[in-house]
Amino acid sequence: MHVTTDIGHFASYLDELGFLKDTRSIELSSYLPAERTFPRRDVVRDSGLSHDQIDYICSLKPRYHMRAIMGKFYQITFINSEADSKDIFISPDFKLIYDSKPQWLGHYINAIKALELQSCRRNYLRSRCCVPGGLLSYSHFVGRNLAPFIVFGSSINLPYVLPFARSWQQSLINTYNISTKIIHLDAADQIFPSMLLAGFEDSWLFEELMDWENLLLARGQLTNIKARLDSNRHLSKHGHYGSDSLYISRLRYEVLCSKLPRTLNWPEILSILSSLDFKVIFPEALSISSLIEKIYNSDLIICDSGSAFINYVLFASLSTKIIQLSPISSLQQGNSFNLLSPLQWYLPVANQIIFFPSCQKAEASDIDSFRWNEHCSYNARELSELVLLLRNIPQ
């Protein structure tokens, strides 16, 4: 069993097996933001990132074409939790996996090999579908699965297959392409409690872009999306919401899920931000349209560490100032994957964001650990001073 990160290689292999039917490539320039939001080194140097992180984020350059292939293939979906899953695309002979991020495959390889040995693949195949993947994580869905809906949308005129029926997925897709038809897998595809297996023929598989490329494509649609939402509300020039300062909080989610808060001293942070006239929003409790309205019209955003940040990356205006609460150990010098790779998520807003570090931790952090998810406390007084500075209010 081999792995390729190149959909062209995967297509060539399907062609050798006699399972490739068609290929397509779409130029991406017209879908990217009109005003390129790539990081400017002279701006990003004051963001709070380390020199290595600045070098990394300033080195990223987008591809200008996105490819799709039509043929016969399988999709394996592993269900890790209610909010986490992994999609894997594999050739009909189970010899070649296509995955743009193979570093996450290790945990699943033995289960895939067991499927091959047990020969429990389905005899029937779905025909004439679009298969974009459909992750259960909101941030990962945005980072890996949105591009086909934006770039190809309804132009292929075939239904898109998602593993799960989640209302937030449908709402998000409708935000970017309201005419796309969605169908879902069913109970017959669940071969184990935590695994789905679906076969496709004469169906389209899409090139997986990097997360930051998906986010750039999504932001490229923001102006039109906002105009459409305003039009649907029939807002007059006096009907728009005023500009607010927002605190995007994970607290509601953490309490409901009995999780330790990422911001350990949240009562102190909430108190100081309340005194500075911040409004608190919990993104999981709002509709997509409400999120767009509130975040787009905000003048200043502060966000807890964690996946809530994806909302301002998608929906903040170019004039919005952003403070991202960040574990101090995630802002260090180094070239490890766990220090650099998470930075790609912030690329679309790199010129308007400040990474505010947590209080210094006494214990040393493992250099190879994922540091962005650490539970930390933040200096409320220093955060208040930064807010006042960004508002240009004398202290």
Work out how many domains the chain is built from and give that number.
2
Q: Are 254 and 262 in contact (CB under 8 A)?
A: yes
Domain boundary among 165, 189, 220: 220
pLDDT bracket for residue 261 (50, 70, 90): very high
229: in domain: no
The answer to whether residue 6 scores a pLDDT higher than 50 is yes
76: in domain: yes
Handedness of CA 85, 86, 92, 94 (dihedral sign): negative
- Check residue 236 and give its pLDDT: 44
pLDDT tens-digit profile of 64-97? 899 999 999 999 999 998 889 999 999 998 999 9
- Check residue 227 and give its pLDDT: 87
pLDDT tens-digit profile of 156-196? 999 999 999 999 999 999 999 888 899 999 877 888 888 89
- Check residue 242 and give its pLDDT: 57
Q: Give the distance, in angstroms, between the CA of residue 76 and the centroid of all CA atoms in the same chain.
A: 20
- Check residue 115 and give its pLDDT: 75
Average pLDDT for the chain: 89
269: in domain: yes
- Check residue 228 and give its pLDDT: 86
The CATH number covering residue 369 comes to 3.40.50.360
The answer to whether residue 240 scores a pLDDT higher than 70 is no
Lowest mean pLDDT among 26-30, 102-106, 382-386: 102-106
- Domain hosting 306: range is 239-390
48: in domain: no
- Check residue 174 and give its pLDDT: 93
Q: How far apart are CA 339 and CA 336, in angstroms?
A: 5
The answer to whether residue 148 scores a pLDDT higher than 50 is yes
Q: How far apart are CA 188 and CA 124, in angstroms?
A: 11
51: in domain: no
227: in domain: no
Mean pLDDT of 119-136: 82
Q: Are 308 and 286 in contact (CB under 8 A)?
A: no
Q: How far apart are CA 141 and CA 339, in angstroms?
A: 22
The answer to whether residue 118 scores a pLDDT higher than 90 is no
- Check residue 367 and give its pLDDT: 59
| Single-letter amino acid, residue 18 | G
371-383: b (≥16 Cβ within 10 Å) or e: bbebebebbbeeb
Q: What is the 3-state secondary structure (H, E, C) of 341-388?
A: HHHHHHHHHHHHEEEEECCCCCCCCCCCCCHHHCCECCCHHHHHHHHH
Q: Are 146 and 314 in contact (CB under 8 A)?
A: no
pLDDT bracket for residue 393 (50, 70, 90): low
Considering the domain architecture, whether residues 212 and 246 belong to the same structural domain is answered as no
Considering the domain architecture, whether residues 9 and 139 belong to the same structural domain is answered as yes
How far lies 122's CA from each of 191, 213, 380, in Å?
10, 34, 57
Lowest mean pLDDT among 71-85, 107-121, 136-150: 107-121
pLDDT tens-digit profile of 268-294? 999 999 999 999 999 999 999 999 999
Mean pLDDT of 15-27: 96
Mean pLDDT of 322-345: 92
Provide CB contacts within 8 A for 366, sequence distance 6+: none
Considering the domain architecture, whether residues 93 and 172 belong to the same structural domain is answered as yes
| Single-letter amino acid, residue 292 | I
- Which residues are paired to 298 by β-bridges? 244
How far lies 195's CA from each of 85, 88, 205, 366, in Å?
9, 11, 20, 32
Considering the domain architecture, whether residues 89 and 7 belong to the same structural domain is answered as yes
Lowest mean pLDDT among 47-56, 185-194, 237-246, 370-379: 237-246
pLDDT tens-digit profile of 39-66? 999 999 999 999 999 999 999 988 989 9
Considering the domain architecture, whether residues 214 and 266 belong to the same structural domain is answered as no
Helix (H) / strand (E) containing 298: strand 298-303
How many C-beta atoms lie closer than 10 Å to residue 199's C-beta? 18
The residue among 50, 270, 44, 85 whose CA lies nearest residue 169 is 85
Considering the domain architecture, whether residues 295 and 257 belong to the same structural domain is answered as yes
Quote the Cα angle for 191-194-197, to 5°. 40
Provide CB contacts within 8 A for 272, sequence distance 6+: 380, 381, 383, 384
The answer to whether residue 382 scores a pLDDT higher than 80 is yes
Domain boundary among 191, 220, 249: 220
